Amino acid sequence: MFKDIKILVIGAGIAGPAICYWLKRFGFSPCLIEKAASIRKGGQALDVRGIATHIARDMGIYEQICDMRTRIECGRYVDAAGKVLHEVQGEEFGFRQDDEVEILRGDLIEILMSTITDVPCDFNQSILRMEQNADGVLVHYNDGKVINYDLVIAADGIHSATRRMVFDKNEYQLVHLGSYLSTFTIPNYLGLSHIDLECESNCKMVSINSDNNPEIARAGFMFRSEHLLKNPRDEQEQKQFLCDTFRDFGWETQNILNRMPESDDFYFDAIMQVKMNSWTKGRIALVGDAGYCPSPLSGQGNNLAFVGAYILAGELKDANGNYMQAFTRYNELLRPLVNANQEFGVWVSKSFLVDDEVSKEIAEERSNKVLGMIKSVSNAISLPQYE
């Protein structure tokens, strides 16, 4: 019914393939581009929670997600000497309840991409500029191509190039929550099996776990700091900052850092939120972290991407392709869910990375609070039905 409406989707992360699925299902003609050469494997562990589990079921991918889940069986808080302070069962350690599932980002993207094999997908593609006009959006690619689309939907993450290109600086805000996050994989030198070890004190945290691949361990670092890097995207500066910050932390920290050069999937970023009064401008819309990242610490970005993709595509269907009507409804319907999750993201940033080592009492009190709050914010919307 809407096959003549040509929609460019930018970014093959979570939100991009998800909205391509719904657009195709609802009768539109999406195409997907990604600046990277291929899908990034592995990555951080993500949770599929609350309303997002219902969407995953409707997409027919929930069972696949369960089959590829991380299967962490227990989490152990340890002190600087490696003594176990507290042990928690895996799902509770990850603050998961009922049918909620943890899965690696790369595995989830692989599943999502498998649902859109009939959608054109081009990698190694980036955009020089976009020009909106009465008939659509003229997109100039850096390889010289110029193509006109009816709509553009950007799902290109927290550092969205589309957002910078289309929106004025006073139309969005990157809010630094005073912390940093880093993850990377290393050889499983501790011989861990479906266990997550975590050491937290002095406003810093180091973790290491191994799940389905016994050869690999996933290291994680989080810490509070108001320091701003001179070159935030420079990997060598990031690694030096990480080493300097954790130089005297103790436990397995130095052993992990010594293996960091072996890793080919190093990730480092400030813990931030994206704040915007509107996620749309003309014929262009943002979805997922590009428009409303709630903070990586919240664990909710993935779920907002699922819900945002479903609602944006659904509203375009209900509006019979009238993008102005659909974009208005998208902004209105999603706002309460985004606000709730961003408030939760701020709370998490303040509640984790504590001054003292995490005792059993601190862990249990924090876990009870988080479980209650996550259940609330993960379900803080009644999903419209579009079919």
Residue 113: CB atoms within 10 A of its CB come to: 18
Q: Is 267 within a domain?
A: no
Residue 4's nearest CA partner among 39, 36, 31, 29 is 29
Name the token pair of 32: 């997907």
Residue 307 lies in a domain: yes
Burial of 324 (0-12, 13-18, 19+ CB in 10 A): exposed
- 342: in domain: yes
User: What whole-number distance in Å separates Cα of residue 122 and Cα of residue 68?
Assistant: 26
Q: Give the chain's residues under pLDDT 50.
A: none
CATH at 308: 3.50.50.60
Does residue 205 lie in a domain region?
no
Digit-coded pLDDT (tens) for 249-306? 999 999 999 999 999 999 999 999 999 999 999 999 999 999 999 998 888 999 999 9
Q: Confirm if 341 and 377 have CB atoms less than 8 A apart.
A: yes
pLDDT of 198 reads 93
* CA distances for 192 relative to 68, 189, 212, angstroms: 19, 8, 11
Side chain identity at 158, as an amino acid letter?
A: I
pLDDT of residue 374: 84
Instruction: Report pLDDT for 342.
Output: 96
So what's the pLDDT on residue 3? 80
DSSP element (H, E) containing 44? none
Backbone angles phi, psi at 241, to 5 degrees: -60, -40
- State how many domains the chain has: 1
The answer to the question of residue 80 being in a domain is no
d(CA 17, CA 4): 20
> What gap in Å lies between CA 325 and CA 94, rounded to an integer?
39
User: Domain for residue 87, yes or no?
Assistant: no
Residue 208 falls within a domain, yes or no?
no
* CA dihedral sign, ordered 138, 142, 143, 144: positive
Give the CA angle between residues 138, 142, 148 to the nearest 5°.
15
What is the domain range of residue 332? 6-72+100-174+273-354
Determine, yes or no, domain membership for 139. Answer: yes
297's CB contacts (< 8 A; 6+ apart) are: 177, 179, 181, 222, 271, 345, 348, 349, 352
